[in-house]
Amino acid sequence: MKTYGFDRIKLSRNLSIDELLQLEEEVKKASLNEFKDGVYFENGKPSIHIYNKNGLKKLDNIGWAIFNKTKRVLV
């Protein structure tokens, strides 16, 4: 699936909601931080985030694209 560099506008214009949801699941699986002894670790350092920094950016852009696409459908 094309990701368009995770550009939120291109994602919104070119992918369907189902494709965006599928991409979101793929990114979540790929960017999951290590969980050990009740703490998440990113690059060996403790973190409060479930997903790594790049994954958070990608998920934010995908979430925006989903919101934008559903907003256009409702209006």
Q: How many domains does the chain have?
A: 1
The count of other CB atoms within 10 Å of the CB of residue 72 is 9
Place of tokens 């094309």: 2
What is the span of the domain harbouring residue 63?
4-74
pLDDT score for 14? 96
CA 75/CA 70 separation, integer angstroms: 9
Instruction: Give tens-digit pLDDT for 10-62.
Output: 999 999 999 999 999 999 999 999 999 999 999 999 999 999 999 999 999 99
The count of other CB atoms within 10 Å of the CB of residue 33 is 20
- The pTM of the full predicted model, rounded to 2 decimals, is 0.88
